[in-house]
């Protein structure tokens, strides 16, 4: 085995991933809460950092301003962090640069893991990424089809589904906090539907806008919450928001749209509790935490019939599943949820059972830690 002889005490895990990504934050902090010794590393801009030991280089890694030295200096930075922290495991969070870099700077006795949080089949054709993944000891993802995209590149690695679930200490049914709702000018007695995903073309809010006219005709007080535009993270977000706004104005719906920018994680459950339905209909997806968070908060879901959701989403039982571009199907789904209280309550009840069984983030990380321990024994 690759484990360093004489290890005692908690496993030491170096998490590598973007400090702008909630995956890196929640993953690192939950490992630490469950007793591991955790550090996080990132090379690039970041407004905030996970609450663990940090290795972060935000500025250019060039030597003396020479562009060709950036990778070399980055490698030195990673090597020094590894030497300083002395991890037992390095776990990369969906960052294609680092698997090959570890081939150059990682001692052979340190276990390596890589997590893919979404579809990126083009990476299979990148030779440096292929070489890096070939040395991995563990591959994980939140959906089987995403994991299948990379398993052939790491023939000796263990494979495991680790779902990016909900923090059930935060996300659970109950009344929303009126003081938090007031911060976003939301009416505790209002009728709302929420789109919980970032405003990006892949997340398909245009279909939601186009599905609303017959729903609004039946429920004239209905409002739509659009959240998380992430302009700084995604280059396609700002232009897409303009398209969404223009379409809503064309359909005379813009005055019903409530725009909420990125909000604290602890506030999100209150928006789900307020809303009568959540609509997440991406054109393509892995398995987002927003599904489990809405389920845990008691908010009925309309979701895409995406293959990544297989094994969790049960159409008509714990959610309503539609083709993501089927405007009429979305209108019918929302009308049924809003008008049939027994159906909406059944969705809530079954969704709570689903998230307890398959979407509890703490349980998922606990299971991953057991895998770490097996690989390290």
Q: Is residue 118 within 8 Å of 286, Cβ to Cβ? A: yes
Average pLDDT over residues 113-125: 87
Q: What is the pLDDT of residues 287-301, one digit of tens each?
A: 889 999 999 999 999
Residue 171 lies in a domain: no
Q: How many helices (H) and strands (E) does the chain have?
A: 13, 13
Residues 68 and 200 in one domain: no
Q: Where are the alpha helices (DSSP H) in the chain?
A: 22-33, 70-85, 98-105, 127-133, 144-151, 178-183, 205-218, 237-250, 265-274, 289-297, 327-339, 341-358, 361-375
CB within 8 Å of 97: residues ≥ 6 apart: none
Q: What is the pLDDT of residues 5-58, one digit of tens each?
A: 445 579 999 999 999 888 899 999 999 999 999 999 999 888 889 999 999 997
Query: Token pair of 287, please?
Result: 């398995």
Residues 158 and 79 in one domain: yes
Q: Say whether pLDDT at 319 is over 50.
A: yes
Residues 144 and 196 in one domain: no
Provide the pLDDT for residue 5. Answer: 46
Nearest CA to 333 among 280, 268, 267, 260? 280
Residues 328 and 367 in one domain: no
Residues 18 and 148 in one domain: yes
Provide the pLDDT for residue 209. Answer: 98
User: What range defines the domain where residue 264 resides?
Assistant: 178-358
Residues 68 and 38 in one domain: yes
Residue 331 lies in a domain: yes
CATH code for the domain of 258: 3.40.50.2000
Residues 202 and 286 in one domain: yes
Q: Return d(Cα 177, Cα 7) in angstroms, integer.
A: 47
Provide the pLDDT for residue 3. Answer: 42
pLDDT band (50, 70, 90) for residue 233: low
Residues 82 and 227 in one domain: no
Q: Return d(Cα 324, Cα 306) in angstroms, integer.
A: 8
Q: Return d(Cα 272, Cα 263) in angstroms, integer.
A: 13
Residues 114 and 205 in one domain: no
Residues 73 and 209 in one domain: no
Q: Is residue 116 within 8 Å of 153, Cβ to Cβ? A: no
Residues 135 and 259 in one domain: no
Residue 100 lies in a domain: yes
Residues 192 and 153 in one domain: no
Nearest CA to 86 among 25, 190, 170, 13? 13
Q: Is residue 368 within 8 Å of 160, Cβ to Cβ? A: yes
Q: Total domain count for the chain?
A: 2
Residue 2 lies in a domain: no
């Amino acid at each position: 085995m690759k484990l360093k002889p004489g290890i005692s005490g908690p496993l030491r895990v170096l998490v590598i991933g973007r400090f702008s990504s909630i995956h890196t934050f929640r993953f690192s902090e939950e490992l630490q809460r469950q007793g591991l010794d955790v550090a996080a590393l990132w090379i690039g801009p970041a407004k905030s950092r996970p609450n663990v030991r940090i290795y972060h280089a935000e500025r250019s890694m060039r030597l003396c301003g020479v562009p060709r030295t950036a990778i070399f200096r980055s490698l030195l930075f990673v090597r020094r962090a590894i030497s300083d922290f002395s991890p037992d495991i390095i776990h990369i969070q969906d960052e294609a640069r680092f698997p090959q870099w570890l081939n150059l700077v990682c001692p052979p006795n340190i276990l390596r893991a890589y997590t893919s949080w979404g579809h990126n089949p083009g990476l299979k054709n990148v030779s440096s990424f292929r070489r890096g993944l070939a040395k991995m000891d563990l591959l994980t993802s939140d959906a089987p089809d995403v994991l299948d995209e990379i398993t052939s590149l790491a023939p000796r690695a263990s494979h495991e589904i680790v779902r990016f679930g909900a923090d059930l200490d935060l996300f659970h049914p109950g009344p929303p906090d009126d003081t938090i709702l007031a911060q976003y000018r939301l009416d505790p007695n209002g009728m709302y539907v929420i789109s919980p995903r970032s405003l990006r073309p892949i997340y398909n809010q245009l279909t939601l806008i186009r599905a609303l006219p017959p729903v609004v005709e039946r429920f004239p007080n209905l409002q739509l919450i659009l959240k998380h535009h992430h302009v700084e993270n995604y280059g396609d977000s700002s232009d897409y928001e303009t398209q969404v706004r223009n379409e809503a104005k064309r359909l005379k719906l813009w005055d019903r749209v409530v725009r909420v920018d990125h909000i604290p994680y602890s506030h999100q459950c209150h928006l789900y509790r307020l809303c009568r339905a959540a609509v997440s209909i991406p054109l393509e997806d892995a398995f987002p935490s927003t599904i489990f968070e809405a389920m845990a908060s008691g908010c009925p879901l309309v979701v895409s019939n995406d293959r990544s959701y297989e094994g969790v989403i049960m159409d008509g039982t714990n959610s309503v599943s539609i083709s993501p571009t089927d405007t009429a199907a979305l209108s019918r789904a929302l009308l049924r949820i809003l008008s049939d209280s027994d159906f909406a309550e059944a969705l809530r009840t079954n969704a709570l059972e689903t998230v307890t069984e398959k979407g509890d983030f703490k349980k998922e990380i606990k299971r991953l830690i057991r895998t770490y321990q097996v690989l390290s024994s």
